């Protein structure tokens, strides 16, 4: 997790708030049930969790990895900071999602930063434990392979839709990505997200996101509910926004 600031006046970092996971938090980790009893005991003994405040950096571009991370609860964003000060967001990371396995496997510096959009609980599996499971656990290997395959398909779809330069399609694709049942198995049918949080993920203004959500709801793809969004047609969201023809 990101190193603490050297300034004495700075707030504590995630590293300062690391603790052992509770039994409930362990139950929220989707790959633990795939392990043998021996493998699971070893993994549980090494897992830690940290409580991230809004704006906390979980991992920073250019830093070497020390953990493989997962979101127990909350919402994170994956982004790159450009030399001109602008930021490009690649995706959101919601409850149940584990990320950074490619970086962890290669032990290479991060090529992105992960930041908390709201107060979140983030789990970390130390890199040595991650590699031990890769070397010894068939169940763990299958989980990681499914992660990599699903993420590849997600990024290919993102590139295709981004070429359309259609803000409504970008909002639809971002929502579909957050509802991915493989990458984010704990989201369910309702995503607890504010329009401002979605605006940060999509890279649009809150007003423009609100307009897109209204269109998606009118087309029957989603339903806006108090405190979140319910997906009605996940397949259509994955295809991007294509208004139905009117008679």
Query: Do 242 and 215 touch, CB atoms closer than 8 A?
Result: no
Parts of the chain belonging to CATH 2.60.120.10 = 14-152
- pLDDT score for 98: 95
- Domain 166-238 belongs to what topology? Arc Repressor Mutant, subunit A (1.10.10)
**Strand 67-73 to 120-126 pairing:** antiparallel
Q: Which residues pair with 87 in a beta bridge?
A: 81
Q: Give the model's pLDDT for residue 86.
A: 58
DSSP result, 86-141: -EEEEEEE-TT-EE-HHHHHHT---SSEEEESS-EEEEEEEHHHHHHHHHH-HHHH
Question: Hey, what CATH class is 14-152 in?
Answer: mainly beta
Domain with CATH 1.10.10.10 in the chain: 166-238
Surface-to-core class of residue 187, CB atoms within 10 Å of its CB (0-12 exposed, 13-18 middle, 19+ buried):
buried
The pLDDT score that the predictor gives to residue 206 is 92
Query: Could you report how far apart the first and last alpha carbons of the chain are, in Å?
Result: 55
- State the DSSP code for 11: P
The H-assigned helical ranges of the chain are: 23-27, 37-46, 101-106, 127-136, 138-162, 167-178, 195-202, 206-218, 234-238
Give, for 231, the enclosing helix (H) or strand (E): strand 228-231
Contact by Cβ (8 Å): 57, 10: no
Give average pLDDT by consecutive 10-residue segment, the chain, 247 residues: 45 78 96 97 97 92 95 91 64 90 94 92 97 97 94 74 76 86 83 88 89 94 89 85 54
């Amino acid at each position: 997790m990101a190193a603490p600031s050297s300034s004495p006046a700075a707030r504590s970092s995630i590293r300062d708030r690391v603790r052992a996971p509770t039994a409930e938090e362990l139950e929220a980790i989707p790959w633990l049930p795939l392990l043998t009893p021996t493998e699971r005991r070893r993994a549980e003994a090494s897992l830690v969790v940290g409580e991230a405040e809004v704006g906390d950096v979980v991992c920073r571009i250019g830093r070497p990895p020390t953990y493989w991370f997962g979101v127990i609860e909350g919402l994170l964003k994956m982004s790159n900071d450009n030399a001109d000060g602008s930021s490009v967001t690649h995706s959101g990371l919601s409850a149940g999602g584990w990320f950074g396995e490619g970086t962890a496997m290669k032990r290479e510096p991060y090529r992105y930063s992960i930041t908390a959009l709201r107060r979140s609980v983030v789990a970390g599996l130390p890199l040595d434990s991650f590699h031990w499971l890769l070397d010894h656990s068939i169940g763990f290997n299958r989980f990681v392979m499914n992660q990599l395959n699903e993420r590849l398909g997600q990024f290919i779809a993102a590139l295709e839709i981004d070429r359309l330069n259609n803000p409504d399609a970008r909002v639809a694709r971002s929502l579909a990505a957050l509802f991915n049942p493989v990458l984010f198995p704990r989201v369910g049918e309702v995503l607890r997200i504010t329009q401002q949080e979605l605006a940060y993920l999509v890279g649009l203004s809150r007003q423009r996101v609100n307009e897109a959500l209204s269109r998606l709801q009118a087309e029957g793809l989603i339903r806006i509910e108090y405190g979140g969004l319910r997906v009605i047609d996940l397949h259509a969201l994955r295809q991007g926004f294509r208004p139905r023809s009117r008679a």
